[in-house]
Amino acid sequence: MSNDTPQIRQKINVCVFISGRGSNLKAILEACENPNFPARVSCIVSNKPDAGGLEYAQQYKIPFAVISHKDYTNKQDFEQGILDALTHEPIDLICLAGFMRILSPYFLTRWGDNIINIHPSLLPKYKGLDTHARAIEAGDAETGCTVHYVIPEMDAGEIILQRSIEITKNDTLTTLAQRLLGEEHFAYPEAIKAVVEQKFTQHYEPKLDLSLTNTTQGKQDMTDKEVLNGHKEMWASFTNTMKFGTLSIIVLLILMALFLL
């Protein structure tokens, strides 16, 4: 195995935020069923009690929380309500999938750059709503979807990946949205994979490739158990050296005594 190979051993924990039908959530859940996919969905958050996507939480037996913005008098309390709910499950990455609330810096700074979103346009074109109508109206030859990191400025974070489709002259809002949704379902799992490979690789144990322990990278990736075993080996080799040294001195003393006699 080369040292450049991402050393993914364990799945990262993803929390998916939804507000509606949850077809992207379903695509992520299906991708996670593959043992080689580097993520699992550890929980789901919806700001709408009647979001269709919540049925997948039940189907896949994933813990979920409904935190309705309507139950709070201000945005900060609503976001604090979500933050509190998030403490119950392990989460490495938040995936917004049709989550229709804009998260404020209050929330975002608590998650650093570990929040991503899917947007139905080829950003930076058409930030915000009605992306398909705007693309058709502008006479664009293509449109697409973008998975990007979330920053306080809406739909403006670093792009992780995009997929595009042609806009044909027969396309209506419905046909375009439908075709693009199919692309989104490929894009989101691909983007999660890319994020894990970019950001999370070093958090996980390396594969048991002994050649790695001779490199800086290997040492950084050693688990506590491996470090402990290393210490034990050093101690064993030290005591062996001591035993050998003591024996040599005794033999030397005997030889000297015999010589003097």
69-106 in b/e form (b: 16+ CB < 10 A) is beeeeeeeebbbbbeebbeebebbbbbbbbbebebeee
Q: What is the dihedral of CA 66, 67, 68, 72, to 10 degrees?
A: 160
Q: Is 146 in the site for ligand GRF (CB under 6 A)?
A: no
**Is 203 among the residues known to form the active site?**
no
Min separation Cβ 224 and ligand GRF, Å = 40
Q: Is 184 in the site for ligand GRF (CB under 6 A)?
A: yes
Q: Which of residues 35-74 bind ligand GRF (CB under 6 A)?
A: 53
Tell me the residue nearest to ligand GRF as measured from the CB.
Answer: 98
Q: Is 155 in the site for ligand GRF (CB under 6 A)?
A: no
Cα–Cα distance between 98 and 158 in angstroms, integer? Answer: 18
Q: Which of residues 84-143 bind ligand GRF (CB under 6 A)?
A: 97-98, 118-120
Query: Sign of dihedral through CA atoms 210, 211, 216, 217?
Result: negative
Among the listed residues 1, 9, 15, the one whose alpha carbon sits nearest the alpha carbon of residue 203: 9
> For residues 22 and 38, which CB has a smaller minimum distance to ligand GRF in the complex?
22
Q: Is 23 in the site for ligand GRF (CB under 6 A)?
A: yes
Among 12, 14, 15, 22, binds ligand GRF (CB under 6 A): 22
β-pairing, 159-166 with 142-149? antiparallel
> For residues 160 and 212, which CB has a smaller minimum distance to ligand GRF in the complex?
160
- Binding residues for ligand GRF (CB under 6 A): 18, 20-24, 53, 97-98, 118-120, 145, 181, 184
Which residues are part of the catalytic machinery? Answer: 119
